[in-house]
Amino acid sequence: MRLSRRIIAATAALTLLAGTVACSKEDDAAGDKQIDVWIAFTDYRLDWAKARADEFNAKHPEYPVVISGYDSYEVLFDAVSAAIEKGTPPEIVQYFEAATQDARDAVNKDGEPLFVSVQAAINGRADILGEPVVLEDVVDAARNYYTTDGQFSSMPWNTSTTLFYSNQSLLKKAKVDKVPETWDEIEAACAKILKLADAPKHCISWPNHGWLPEQAVAQQGGLIADNENGRAGRAQNIDYTSEELLNFVKWEKELYDNGTYYYSGKQNDWDGPQNAFAAQEVGFLMTSAGDATAIVGAGKDGGFDVEVSRMPYNGDVPYAGNLIGGATLWLTADQGDAKQDGSLAFMQFLNNPKNAADWHKTTGYIPITKAAGALLEQEGWFTENPYQKVATEQLALANGTPAATGALLGSFVSIRAVLTQAIEDVLVSGADPVERFTKAQEDAQKLLTDYNALYGG
Amino acid sequence: MPIYPLMLPLFAAVTLIGALVGWTVWRNAGLSGRRGALVVAPAGFLGPLLTMVPMEACTFEPERTGLDIAVGIVAFTSGAAVLIAATAWIGRALSKPGGWANLDDRAEAGSFRGGAAAAMALLLPTLAVLAVFLYWPLFETLRLSTQLTRRGNPIERFSCVDNYTELLGPTAEWWLLVPLAALLVTAVGAELARRADKVGSGLLAPRLRRVRGWLTVVVVIAAAASVFGPSYRSVFLTTMILTSGTVLIGLAAGLGIALLVSQPIKGRAIYRTLLIWPFAVSPPIAGILFFVMFDPLTGIAGHVFEALTPWDMPNYRTDPVLARGLVIMASVWKTLGFTILFYIAGLQNVSTNMLEAARLDGANGWQRLRYFIVPSLTPITFFLVVTNVTYAFFEIFGTISYLTEGGPSGATVDAMTSVVQSSEWVGDGAARSLVLFVMVLAVTAWQFRATGRRVHYGG
């Protein structure tokens, strides 16, 4: 008995060891031409990417693409920096939009830039390894955002924007005949809704995330950083005391103080507001377009109609445009020409009209190229699901100014955290908006100054 | 390392202190004081180099602020203190017969007959693990805390002690001055009472001494709080509130429940098993459970509260007091099983003879608890205080992260959460984790002094 246990244990150990050795061997063998793609998804989106990689590998067996999913962007960046130290960075890395400046400033072990511009690497070719180049066809909002120093720096993939969701059934009951489009109209509609006999506790909600106030500033044509939002040169100064930002904060505070706005009480909480909307505790919701499918579905389940429309804006000032959110694929330098072509070919393949349309249908991110949009139109997708077109239409309204394009900032994630903290203090602790944002301005400025001290010279 | 004018008197001072320490320690051990002074004084002189060389004495550069210099002096003297203490401890042992063996406790003293080579070889793997996973990260944290550096990219820039001075901002507040004055008055009073009471039979002197003890704790906490700048001050206070709340409430509730389930009741084995259950839950899961239960819109706690009372359930996510209370509640619930388990075991060892005797002497239930059961449990209590404080410092973070994310308005950001929140700026995070390290050292030292003295292991 004892002997047989020992034998089993020994065999198991040996198998494990052999397995590990075999796996590492495999890695080495394919190492030369293998294209490593590191993305920050671990859910169905990772499966989708892996399925596309399999298709690509069947077409181009000479460049095996291997996709690895990471839990979050932070974990992904840690893995990248460890790989940089080892001198073996992946060929393609996904960076989210707020980290665009970080990606531009990233360096490898020798202090050379880690990434090369995708546009420069494509160098005007119409197809690479037989994959038609789709970079030129990317929708303007994404093109403008990711164009830095006059070059399209990275390959867009998942792109969204902020949208407005209304509980139509509730609006009908409250006799609001038109979905509100401006801040004033929201207040008027909410006044009616909250007067209902069986009124919900609150009227509207959105996540306390930096992206939403940034959207509001962009809509009003305001900047959050100097040097034209960091697009004419490296941003040196944050502007968190602008009239545009304070307009939004004061409006949010007013709604919170009179019980109209529901704050879930947690920063960067995307689920809380969405759950409140699904449970009909609020009638309006502002959140990402990427959740459109889920929210419309939640309405169906809960027995109410959901209307999807543009993000409401300040009707007192001219509208400049809304921002994108999402992520792009960055191409690391020093891959060698042949392999770099393999990487570029995969990027184009992943976003070809058929795949981009499928990606849109699977996730709710916007169709990233005009061709993909046309394909969906042709299939009748937008006739069946008209709400899926709102995001693309909203982004097309942007006037192309730096305000509507979005800021490029180093350490943007921490700077955003300063903003959300300040908003929470204004709402929950009753801090004075002007005073609190003067302090936020200082904190954010320090982060940017520190960042520029490290990377700016 | 450059030498700045301000450092010369400091070097002189630490050398002198080293000599004095050496002299005293050697004299107390019955050795020549002069030799002790000669051995330890160089340690005092060289000790500051431990911190000053890596920092390049940057805090004493001419254009530095007072705060920088103050941090520099702390770094300077702590380097000296470490080397003085080590030299005094080892040097004294070596200069007495027996050598290295003097470093052990009397009971465990001993030496290897055939030399320590084999033992060292066997210890090597453990030492290697300690070095790689404990000491190296500690020194790396120390180094990083003097750098301006971000997660995700390998650029570093020396920033002297800026990461520390940003956390500091000493101000004299009333809540420091009032307890300090009270402490001085009490200390003088206690001394006078001691002198007046030659026999040692009065009640006044011991009472004043106890008050002095508590006031000292209050003053130390207030002083630490007043050293920090406004933003970190709230972190420090939150840490103190969450820790003391978790430990005190947890131990009291644990003892109470353990007393109840130690009564001869039917099916107590089942109660015990069920009570210990939450211990198996990890801190983040506890956070998620309470998050769901106390959700302002859909939580079951709100439903029950609103069904039983005419009021709306207040929203803990927008109320700093409730948020802290709920974090404490979740952590108490989480640690309770562990506390109960050990108290049940401890209660089985309380002498029944003694309790019987007390009962015969007419002690009521409260008196038996206060004067017999609680003192008999001190070893368990001491152990539980240590483990629960460790839990409170390092693991409540998991609960906070899911329950409040540090909100509302940072009311539940404790020291550990603040380290995690600054994960983008690694240097800042390193400085914060060293501040936490010092806090833990201080609390542990205090525990061993305060609780350790009152521990009775019987026999």
The stretch B7-28 carries a mean pLDDT of: 92
pLDDT at residue A12, rounded to an integer: 60
Tell me whether A70 touches chain B (CB under 8 Å): no
Q: What is the pLDDT of residues A164-199, one digit of tens each?
A: 999 999 999 999 999 999 999 999 999 999 999 989
CB atoms within 10 A of CB B70: 17
Chain B CB contacts of A281 below 8 Å? 297
Chain B CB contacts of A107 below 8 Å? 153-155
Range with lowest mean pLDDT among A372-376, A381-385, B12-16, B199-203: B199-203
Tell me whether A57 touches chain B (CB under 8 Å): no
The stretch B196-223 carries a mean pLDDT of: 83
Place of tokens 């005007």: A124
Chain A CB contacts of B149 below 8 Å? 454
- Could you give the C-alpha distances from B92 to B38, B100, B260, in angstroms and in order? 12, 10, 52
Paired tokens of A204: 């509207």
Tell me whether A113 touches chain B (CB under 8 Å): no
Exposure string for A79-117, b = 16+ CB within 10 A, e = fewer: bbbebbeeeebbbbbbbbbbbbbbbbbbbbeeeeebbbb
Tell me whether A429 touches chain B (CB under 8 Å): yes
* B266/A418: higher pLDDT: A418
From CA B207, how far away is CA B224, in angstroms rounded?
A: 26
pLDDT at residue A30, rounded to an integer: 46
How far off is chain B from A164, nearest CA to CA, in Å?
21
Q: How many residues does chain B have?
A: 459
Q: Whose CA is closest to A215, among A41, A427, A391?
A: A391
pLDDT at residue A360, rounded to an integer: 93
Paired tokens of B200: 């040692």
pLDDT at residue B459, rounded to an integer: 45
CB atoms within 10 A of CB A379: 12
- How many Cβ contacts (< 8 angstroms) between chains A and B? 87
* B431/B444: higher pLDDT: B431
Chain B CB contacts of A102 below 8 Å? 152-153
Q: So what CATH class is B230-454?
A: mainly alpha
The stretch B170-177 carries a mean pLDDT of: 87
Tell me whether A275 touches chain B (CB under 8 Å): yes
Tell me whether A382 touches chain B (CB under 8 Å): no
pLDDT at residue B369, rounded to an integer: 87
Q: Is the pLDDT of residue A29 over 50?
A: no
Over chain B, what is the mean pLDDT?
Answer: 87
Q: Give the per-residue SS3 of chain B.
A: CCCCCCHHHHHHHHHHHHHHHHHHHHHHCCCCHHHHHHHHHHHHHHCCHHHHHHHCCHHHCCCCCHHHHHHHHHHHHHHHHHHHHHHHHHHHHHCCCCHHHHHCCHHHCCCCCCCCHHHHHHHHHHHHHHHHHHHHHHHHHHHHCCEEEECCCCCEEECCCHHHHCCECCCCCHHHHHHHHHHHHHHHHHHHHHHHCCCCCCCHHHHHHHHHHHHHHHHHHHHHHHHECHHHHHHHHHHHHHHHHHHHHHHHHHHHHHHHHCCCCCCHHHHHHHHHHHHHCCHHHHHHHHHHHCCCCCCHHHHHHHHHCCCCCCCHHHCHHHHHHHHHHHHHHHHHHHHHHHHHHHHHCCCHHHHHHHHHCCCCHHHHHHHHHHHHCHHHHHHHHHHHHHHHHHCHHHHHHHHCCCCCCCCCCCHHHHHHHCCCEHHHHHHHHHHHHHHHHHHHHHHHHHHHHCCCCCC
B321: closest chain A residue by CA: A429
Q: What is the pLDDT of residues B116-164, one digit of tens each?
A: 788 888 899 999 999 999 999 999 999 999 999 887 777 888 888 889 9
Nearest CB partner across the interface for B153, out of A106, A263, A425: A106
How far off is chain B from A285, nearest CA to CA, in Å?
16
pLDDT at residue A19, rounded to an integer: 53
Tell me whether A413 touches chain B (CB under 8 Å): yes
Q: What is the pLDDT of residues B384-407, one digit of tens each?
A: 988 899 899 999 999 999 998 887
Q: What is the pLDDT of residues A311-366, one digit of tens each?
A: 999 999 999 999 999 999 999 998 988 999 999 999 999 999 999 999 999 988 99
Q: Whose CA is closest to B95, among B171, B27, B153?
A: B27
Q: Whose CA is closest to B446, among B240, B220, B184, B251?
A: B220
ipTM for the predicted complex: 0.77
From CA A115, how far away is CA A121, in angstroms rounded?
A: 11
Q: Is the pLDDT of residue B255 over 90?
A: yes
- A265·B408 Cβ contact <8 A: yes
A281: closest chain B residue by CA: B297
Over chain A, what is the mean pLDDT?
Answer: 90
Chain A CB contacts of B404 below 8 Å? 265-266
Range with lowest mean pLDDT among A20-29, B191-200, B340-349: A20-29
pLDDT at residue A27, rounded to an integer: 46
Q: What percent of chain B has pLDDT over 90?
A: 36
Nearest CB partner across the interface for B424, out of A263, A264, A413: A413
Tell me whether A78 touches chain B (CB under 8 Å): yes
pLDDT at residue A20, rounded to an integer: 53
From CA A33, how far away is CA A22, in angstroms rounded?
A: 19
pLDDT at residue B379, rounded to an integer: 86
Are the beta carbons of A314 and A96 closer than 8 angstroms?
no
Q: Which runs of consecutive H residues, i.e. helices, occur in A279-329?
A: 292-302
Are the beta carbons of A433 and B414 closer than 8 angstroms?
no
Exposure string for A276-304, b = 16+ CB within 10 A, e = fewer: bbbebbbbbbbbbbbbbbebbebbeeeeb
The stretch A110-137 carries a mean pLDDT of: 92
The stretch A33-46 carries a mean pLDDT of: 92
Q: Is the pLDDT of residue B377 over 80?
A: yes
